[in-house]
Amino acid sequence: MEIVLIIFCVTSVIITSVIVTLELKREKVLNIESYNNDINTTNFHGQRILIKDKKTNEKLRNRVFETLDQQLNKLGYMSKGPKLDFINNTLKSDYSDLEELSPIELETAFVAILKARESDELAA
């Protein structure tokens, strides 16, 4: 019984040492990245976001809004006013710019656009 307890304690110490070593290495890498200005900010979960990831997210967001604009153009909404009217009627909101939409609202808007396009195709 004593041998089992000793083996358990030694195993616990080894596992704890490995975890501490890995955390220290990770902290060292984060400090180096921070020193090299690779890290800009943190996300909702407290994880660090690299500048290159932030730029990628901005590009993706811009493409989503470009696609939304193109789809609204295909529906016949050419200027900002009618586009906002369509979005505000769909979402039952009062936005003054399309870029204020959250991801869930964007999804709802795209679904509404698809339904409007389908109903136009059925009517034709």
Give the residue, 76 or 56, on which the prediction is more confident. Answer: 76
Mean model confidence pLDDT for the chain: 78
pLDDT, one tens digit per residue, over 32-75 is 655 555 445 554 555 555 555 556 677 888 888 899 889 999 88
Q: Is the same domain home to 30 and 57? A: no
Evaluate whether 41 touches 54 at the Cβ level (below 8 Å): yes
* DSSP string for residues in 15-75: HHHHHHHHHHHHHHHHHHHHHTT-EEEE-TTS-EEEHHHHHHHHHHHHHHHHHHHHHHHHT
Q: Is the same domain home to 32 and 66? A: no
pTM of the predicted protein model = 0.53
pLDDT at 18 (0 to 100):
83
Q: Is the same domain home to 63 and 119? A: yes
Q: Is the same domain home to 70 and 21? A: no
Q: Is the same domain home to 62 and 116? A: yes
Across the range 106-121, mean pLDDT stands at 85
Q: Which two tokens stand for residue 98?
A: 């399309």
Domain containing residue 80 = 53-123
Q: Which two tokens stand for residue 96?
A: 């003054």
